[in-house]
């Protein structure tokens, strides 16, 4: 069965370190998204991609970057982790922009 996976599921890091969160989908979807979820804020869009080599900034992109070198993967990099980036991160994918987004299980990141 097609799926979307995220790794690691839990990560503890220190302020200033570079961190990369992985997202892999086997749906063959063109569109992939990264969200963060914080209490009281719901899901906020960080970056998104509509295809290979395409990336776009979302609502809360500062301090994050993504690259899309193939259809299946969209890694999210925190260039220099900050305590404000402690959150739960979700990756999602969809076939078309207006289609259902399928979410991964999430990565719980703690920045000390």
Partner 1 sequence: QKEVEQDPGPLSVPEGAIVSLNCTYSNSAFQYFMWYRQYSRKGPELLMYTYSSGNKEDGRFTAQVDKSSKYISLFIRDSQPSDSATYLCAAGSARQLTFGSGTQLTVLP
Distance CA 94, CA 50 (A): 9
Closest to partner 1 by CB, 14 or 54 = 54
Q: Show the tokens assigned to 37.
A: 């979820």
Q: Which residue has the tokens 């892999």?
A: 24
**Nearest to partner 1 of 16, 105 (CB atom):** 105
- Shortest distance, position 42 Cβ to partner 1, whole Å: 4
Closest CB 106 distance from partner 1, rounded Å = 5
Residue closer to partner 1 by CB (options 46, 80) is: 46
Could you tell me which of 49, 46, 16 has the C-alpha nearest to residue 32? 49
Distances in Å between the Cα of 34 and the Cα atoms of 1, 75, 103 are 22, 9, 9
- In whole angstroms, the minimum distance from the beta carbon of 103 to partner 1 comes to 4
Q: Is 101 left (phi over 0), alpha (psi -120 to 50) or beta?
A: beta
Which residues would be at the binding site for partner 1 (CB under 8 A)?
35, 40-45, 48, 58, 90, 92, 97-98, 100-106
CB of 109 to partner 1, least distance (A): 14
Nearer to partner 1, 14 or 59 (CB): 59
């Amino acid at each position: 069965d097609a799926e979307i996976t995220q790794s690691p599921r839990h990560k503890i890091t220190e302020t200033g370190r570079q961190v990369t969160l992985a997202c892999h989908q086997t749906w063959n979807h063109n569109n992939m998204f990264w969200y963060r979820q914080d209490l009281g804020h719901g899901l906020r869009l960080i970056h998104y991609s509509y295809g290979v080599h395409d990336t776009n900034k979302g609502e809360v992109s500062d301090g994050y970057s993504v690259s899309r070198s193939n259809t299946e993967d969209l890694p999210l990099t925190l260039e220099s982790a900050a305590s404000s980036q402690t959150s739960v991160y979700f990756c999602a994918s969809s076939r078309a922009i207006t289609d259902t987004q399928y979410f991964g299980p999430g990565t719980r990141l703690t920045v000390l």
